[in-house]
Amino acid sequence: MNSLLIVDDDLEVLGLLKKFFVQHGYSVEVATDGASLWAAIERQVPDLIILDVMLPGDSGLILCQQLRIRHALPIIMLTAMGELSDRVVGLELGADDYLTKPFDARELLARVRAVLRRVDERRPVLQERPRPLIDFADWHLDVTRRELRSPDNVMIPLSAGEFDLLLVFVEHPQRILTREQLLDLARGHSHEAFDRSIDVQVSRLRRKLESDTKRPAMIRTVRNGGYLFTPSVTRR
């Protein structure tokens, strides 16, 4: 049974969503702000967090950023803000998906299933790989632990989306991949994803991998083509 943590300061929404997801076979914890979110995680780390943007105290965007530093948990943001720029901010801060209010609970259920499926689909692949440690340009990616270490052996936190995208790049090195190919390979399928979401994920990866993000050397943009991961890759 997958476990969810739903964070929203609207008690009526919390009650309805908890009842809905329990009816669909999920274990559900709820929180109304940052303090109760961290307390819930201390009791049990969930499989996925549904996080509202508008919260008292620390906003959902701030909490999303803090979660990305501490955990590699999938996060779906709920927002009443419909502008593309607002949604992009959430993705840049580490959200794996978003849904704009008002929404149908069935659509949220579909998003939850899609995100969890992407995580689950990776697990059997990781168990089958005899050499789950990947090296590139003095960086080290532990596929089993989903950990990235810098050349100085510093752990670099990655969101689930960032990890999946980096894994696609290291599995297809020195090959031009279109945005559509990256979406298909990283997410398994399209679920109202737009090309800009890949650009956001690439931008976030560059900030963590590149010494000069204005002149990226590892993840190059190919005009009218997509992206090219330039380092050679070895497994051990």
Q: CB-based contacts of 182: which residues, under 8 Å, 6+ apart? A: 165, 168, 198, 226, 227
CATH number of 3-121: 3.40.50.2300
Model pTM? 0.55
Residues facing residue 48 across a β-bridge: 4
By the 10 Å C-beta count (0-12 exposed, 13-18 middle, 19+ buried), 155 is classed as exposed
Element at 220 (helix H, strand E): strand 219-222
Where does the chain hold its CATH 3.40.50.2300 domain(s)? 3-121
Where does the chain hold its CATH 1.10.10.10 domain(s)? 129-235
The average pLDDT across 148-168 equals: 90
Start-end of H helices in the chain: 11-23, 34-43, 60-70, 84-92, 105-128, 160-171, 179-187, 195-209
Per-residue pLDDT for 125 more than 50? no
pLDDT in tens, 56-65: 999 888 898 8
Q: Which CATH architecture has domain 129-235?
A: Orthogonal Bundle (1.10)
pLDDT in tens, 65-87: 888 777 778 999 988 766 556 56
Per-residue pLDDT for 130 more than 70? no
The average pLDDT across 168-187 equals: 84
Question: Backbone phi, then psi, for 136, in 5-degree steps?
Answer: -155, 130
